[in-house]
Amino acid sequence: MIIDSNKIDTHNEILIQSHANKLVFLASEIGETENIVQKLIDFQIAIPSWALGTGGTRFGRFAGGGEPRSLEEKIEDVGLLHALNNASGAISLHIPWDIPTDYNAIKSLAAQHNLKFDAVNSNTFQDQANQEHSYKFGSLQNVNKAVRKQAVAHNIEVIQQGIALGSESLTVWLADGSSFPGQLNFRKAYQNTLESLEEIYAALPSNWKLFLEYKNAEPNFYSTTVADWGQSYSYVKKLGDKAKTLVDLGHHLPNANIEQIVSLLLMEDKLGGFHFNDSKYGDDDLTAGSLKPYQLFLIFNELVEGMDARGMNHAKDLGWMIDASHNIKDPLEDLLQSVEAIMIAYAQALLVDRKALEIAQNENDVVRAQEILQNAFRTDVRALVAEARLRSGAALNPVGLYRDLAVRNGLIAERGLKTMATGL
């Protein structure tokens, strides 16, 4: 299924007058809008291949129908999102949930949809059929050298597949840890993990990055071997310049100050990228911005400030990815909502009056500092995000058009009602 550009034009024509009015009003409030709109046009957020099917919990899974049955169909789904919002121009693969066979065919399909391949993800948290050793007691940390070797070999294989697709980064997330006190010697687990990561790092091409994602708990519930940003930092610092920490917003202990973590990792040149999602309890993987939009804004506020201070390119110098997976929503609608929320937070962060904030900070004017941040956060910037879409040929209201065109019904007609995408 492909969304015809005429359909987007017709949709936009209906909404254009009301959009133009909102934009004029916003410009009268905030002044210059051109710069922000341009930055929004350039900003792209990668879609995880595993979010395109209905996610489940360990209590059940309620499939929605029309889910992608192959890597090709996942690429088509991301193509649909990108046609609607022109902000989802990359797909992040998880191997072996995604198994590319004909690389050239996959690459040309992605190119037809204007998509790039973002970070490739390895998987040593599940046992695969025909696998010699089990990861039940960990992978890169395992007390058994043969298991570690197998996990290292898998990661190197994923790098090779990524190279063939034109990807430039590997994300390593480890379920390794322990569930009971005494199960693990923490120091040995750390050292085994480091040694394994060094072997993977040695296989990276020079233009590649390795993202080491941390997570406080789950599936292990007593210790996790890469549990927080400090532990990830300690590994990536030892590995070298190409290794960076990846921040998944759902992987912290409750109430962690994620924006401060982001600021310091950036300062240390060790922030690699993000997995955006939202949560109330743990790794809930809910739609970005659905629960804590102010936190999302505060994170972007630190990103914009820190990246500008280091002369970094907002769109290119970090890996921007979503990691959300939904159990009750249509996954494509959910992803459109996540991208919109991320764009809104970014636009609001671009609005912050940095000079005034610096003065307020230097004068210890706490009230003024808060006003400056909240003025930006409370500005309705949706017209700026919509304008960025309009200028790049996408839809003013992506979810609205998705529904008007009955895209899900079209996908069900093509693929059937009983479909099961690979993933969580």
Contacts of 218 (CB under 8 A, 6+ apart): 282, 283
Instruction: Show contacts with Mn ion in window 249-308 (CB under 5 A).
Output: 275, 283
CB of 374 to Mn ion, least distance (A): 30
Which CB, 98 or 283, lies closer to ligand LRH? 283
Which CB, 321 or 390, lies closer to ligand LRH? 321
Residue-by-residue DSSP string for 5-41 = HHHHHHHHHHHHHHHHHHHHHHHHHH---HHHHHHHH
Using CB under 5 A, which of 323, 330, 334, 340 touches Mn ion? 323
What token pair was written down for 404? 């008007």
The entry of ligand LRH, Mn ion, none that residue 424 binds, CB within 5 to 8 Å by partner kind: ligand LRH
Distance of alpha carbon 304 from alpha carbon 385, whole angstroms: 17
Which CB, 277 or 301, lies closer to ligand LRH? 277
3-state secondary structure of 177: strand
Q: Binding residues for ligand LRH, how many (CB under 6 A)?
A: 10
Is residue 326 a contact residue for Mn ion (CB under 5 A)? no
Stretch that binds Mn ion, among 11-19, 147-155, 290-298, 318-326 (CB under 5 A): 318-326
Torsion sign (Cα): 409, 410, 411, 416: positive
* Nearest alpha-carbon partner for 303 in 339, 263, 271, 265: 263
Using CB under 6 A, which of 85, 121, 124, 225 touches ligand LRH? 121
Which CB, 219 or 393, lies closer to Mn ion? 219
CB of 153 to ligand LRH, least distance (A): 19
Are the C-beta atoms of residues 19 and 393 closer than 8 Å to each other?
no
Is residue 213 a contact residue for ligand LRH (CB under 6 A)? yes
CB of 97 to ligand LRH, least distance (A): 9
Which CB, 61 or 403, lies closer to Mn ion? 61
Instruction: Show contacts with ligand LRH in window 246-285 (CB under 6 A).
Output: 248, 275, 283
What token pair was written down for 229? 């940003």
Using CB under 6 A, which of 113, 215, 244, 270 touches ligand LRH? 215
Which CB, 232 or 397, lies closer to ligand LRH? 232
What token pair was written down for 128? 């695969």
The entry of Mn ion, ligand LRH, none that residue 330 binds, CB within 5 to 8 Å by partner kind: none
Residue 56 buriedness (CB in 10 A; 0-12 / 13-18 / 19+): middle
Distance of alpha carbon 333 from alpha carbon 200, whole angstroms: 36
Q: What are residue 395's phi and psi, to 5 degrees? A: -90, 145
For the chain, what is the largest distance between any 2 Cα atoms, rounded to a whole number of angstroms? 66
Instruction: Show contacts with ligand LRH in window 134-173 (CB under 6 A).
Output: 173
Amino acid at 337: Q
Beta carbons within 10 angstroms of residue 265's beta carbon: 22
Which CB, 97 or 377, lies closer to ligand LRH? 97
Distance of alpha carbon 216 from alpha carbon 250, whole angstroms: 9
Amino acid at 193: T
Distance of alpha carbon 201 from alpha carbon 236, whole angstroms: 10
The entry of ligand LRH, Mn ion, none that residue 121 binds, CB within 5 to 8 Å by partner kind: ligand LRH
The entry of ligand LRH, Mn ion, none that residue 117 binds, CB within 5 to 8 Å by partner kind: none
Using CB under 6 A, which of 73, 323, 333, 340 touches ligand LRH? 323
What token pair was written down for 148? 């570690």
- Which residue has the closest beta carbon to ligand LRH? 173
Using CB under 5 A, which of 77, 176, 248, 330 touches Mn ion? 248
Amino acid at 317: D
Which CB, 119 or 407, lies closer to ligand LRH? 119
Distance of alpha carbon 120 from alpha carbon 92, whole angstroms: 6
Distance of alpha carbon 300 from alpha carbon 99, whole angstroms: 34
CB of 116 to ligand LRH, least distance (A): 19
* Nearest alpha-carbon partner for 382 in 40, 47, 90, 32: 40
Which CB, 97 or 208, lies closer to ligand LRH? 97
**Site residues (CB under 5 A) for Mn ion?**
248, 275, 283, 323
User: Which residues of this chain interact with ligand LRH, rule CB under 6 A?
Assistant: 50, 121, 173, 213, 215, 248, 275, 283, 323, 424
